[in-house]
Structure formats: C-alpha cells, structure tokens
Amino acid sequence: MRPADPYATRREQGESERGGTQTGGGHPVHLETPLHSRSLAPPRPCAPCPIPDRPNLTVLTGAQADRIVVENGRAVGVTYERGGRMETVRADAEVILSAGAVNSPWLLLRSGIGPADELRAVGVDVVHDLPGVGKNLHDQLEVYITRASAQPLSYSGEDRWDRALRHAVQYGLYRTGPATATITEAGAFLSSADDVTSPDLQLHFLPAYVVWKDGSHTAEKIPGHGVTLLACNVRPRSRGAVTLVSKDRSVLPAVDPNYLDDPHDWEIAVEGFRRMREVFAAPAFAGLLKEEWLPGASVETDEEIRAYIRRWAKTDYHPVGTCKMGVDDLAVVDPELRVHGLDGLRVIDSSIMPNIISGNTQAPSMMIGEKGAALILAGA
C-alpha cells in the first residue's frame, strides 16, 4: 500500500493548498479553518463582491427558468416563471447556462435541445438534436465504516441546542471551538494497487457517527461517541444519465448515476473498504476505538462487503459530465464552452467536464467559471 498523501488543507475561504504532490509526503494532513476569520466566507475570488452594485446586472430571486428561447438557430433569451407569471428576458449577446450537472441538462432538454427520440417520447418539440445532453453523468461514490469511540472525543451530541448555543457564543467572541470545524477533520489520497501510478482513492475522517436512515435523507442519531472513515473512488468508470420524464417543469428529471455498473468500480469500492479497516487497525487508534458499529466485524468476505456497499454507499455530491466538452458525437459544448450547433449559447459549470478529476470538484468548478468568463470577454 502506498503511504497516505498530504491532503489539501481546507480553509473557510475555499482555498486548497497542498504541500507536495498526491504521490509523496507520507502522512495525512489535518483539515482546518482559519480561527481568526471574521465570518464563514465564500471562496476568496467572490469575497469582495462588488458585482451587485453594477448597473448592468439584475438578480431575480424566486424565479424558475422554463426554457431557452431559440430563434433561427440562435439562443436569444430565457423564459422563466416568477410569482405565477411567465416572463421572457432577451439576450443582446449570449445566453449563459450555469445550473450544474443536473439542472443544466434538464433546462436544455426542456428547451428541446437534446436527443431527439427521447424528447419526442415525452412530448417535447425538438429544437436541436444533440445526443449527448444529459449523458456521461458520473459521480464519486463513498463507502464508509463507523467505529464506536472508547473516549468522549467526537462531535456526537454537540448539536444539542444548549451546546450549539455555547459553541455559537464561543465562535462569536473568540473564533474558536467546534463551530470553526469542517467536521471532516483529516484525509488522504492513496492508490488501490501498486501498479496504480496516481492515487485513485480518497479518504475522509470524521470524529462523528455518520449513519443514514434506511430510505431517508436524514442521519441517524446514534447514542454515545463514534468516528467515521469514508473511502471514495475518485475515478469512477460507470456512467449514468439525466433524462426528461415530462415536459412539465414541476416534474423532476430522472437522475441515474448508474453507480458500480462497471466491474472495475466494484473492485475499487471493495479495496477502499479493506483499506479503511487497515487504517483503523493502526497502532495510533489503539485504546481510542471500540467495536465496529457499521457494518460490523462479521462482514468479511467480498460478497458480504458488496452487499453492505450496495445498501449503504452514498454519493460524494460531485456529479459532472452531463454537458461534456469535446468534439466527439456525445460532446455538448466545444472547447470554448459554446453549445454545438447553436449560436449564442454557452454552458459554464461542472457539467462540461468530460471526465471527473481525481478529487473534489469545487475548485475546478470555480476554474471553469473563471475560464468561461475569460472566453466570453475575449469574444465580446
């Protein structure tokens, strides 16, 4: 097993500073926030935020985009619903779509831009046949193990109202305490095998129980103290899709990440599980941990581990790829982020990534925004 590598130090301003490469360094790094920050701030490029005062910007809240208006092969505006009324705003130059890996393809599909057969099947008039819209969806899947803690060293119970109030006061006065924490306190990158030249597993350590209720999006309240370790395959090969279910915008699209469809992804998931157990067996944890709470020590064979993963693995919330950039048949945008076959329309968000990066997607998404802005200005 390769040594765990330095993980990008996280700061509340959203910066990532890695002291080295993913293939060297020999130890995980604590994930921290600046204790003297005046507030929980957005990423630094947006922090000054002079934009709202610009006379050429109007921000509408409570508005839902309905469709992109296309005339004679050019995107000329957007129709949206606000306060029960349908409105249309016209574009002098370009329409920029930045709604993310689910909503960007959803809006394109509702606008008649996408695979023609699929659009006709739900009653949407085809404006532009573009087969790749909504395809190539991929996301990083997390597998996790929870262990009971032998000592009260976790965040368990710290969200109780009286403690939460105390933490808020402490943060307000001194900028210290649990309110400064990321919850994900440490991490590492490692390779699943010796012949993997670039780390394909990412670990996150949380001093708290993380157990999701069956069939629910809420976490279980587990009594006592515990810790959680998560392993994520950062280069999944499985591909899913965002597809239109109805032309009615009140009906959400079908989002199928198709996790673990590729056998290789199963291999990495099982290997990640076994690596987490190796970490928990390290001498540094001796005396600090008790029994394995989930899935439990009885889960040992590959078949048992796969059954556990199938039931309890979860998204890492890194969907990308549904409006991918490229020049092949499934590409939606070209290298300048312009939608193939239409004028006046660009997509600028994580959906344009042809392949996910080997890590978190926030920083590259910010980069895509910065690069997209530069491309727009260059063509103005």
Residue 149 burial class via C-beta count within 10 angstroms: exposed 0-12, middle 13-18, buried 19 and up: buried
How far apart, in Å, are the Cα atoms of 223 and each of 144, 177, 211, 229? 19, 22, 12, 18
How far apart, in Å, are the Cα atoms of 23 and each of 29, 163, 250, 330? 14, 41, 47, 33
The token pair that represents 237 in the structure block: 């090969």
Per DSSP bridges, beta strands 314-315 and 141-149 are antiparallel
Q: Which candidate, 260, 271, 128, 307, places its Cα nearest to that of 199?
A: 271
Q: How far apart (Å, rounded) are the C-alpha atoms in residues 208 and 228? A: 6
Q: Is 192 left (phi over 0), alpha (psi -120 to 50) or beta?
A: alpha
Cis check: omega of the bond before 6, within 30 degrees of 0 = no
The token pair that represents 59 in the structure block: 């921000």
Q: Which candidate, 57, 90, 58, places its Cα nearest to that of 76?
A: 90
Identify the active-site residue in 36, 167, 318, 340.
318
Q: Is 83 left (phi over 0), alpha (psi -120 to 50) or beta?
A: left
By the 8 A CB rule, do 341 and 334 touch? no
**318 catalytically annotated:** yes
CA angle 332, 333, 339 (to 5 degrees): 90
By the 8 A CB rule, do 231 and 273 touch? yes
Q: Could you tell me how many helices (H) and strands (E) the chain has, helices first?
A: 6, 18
Active site residues: 318
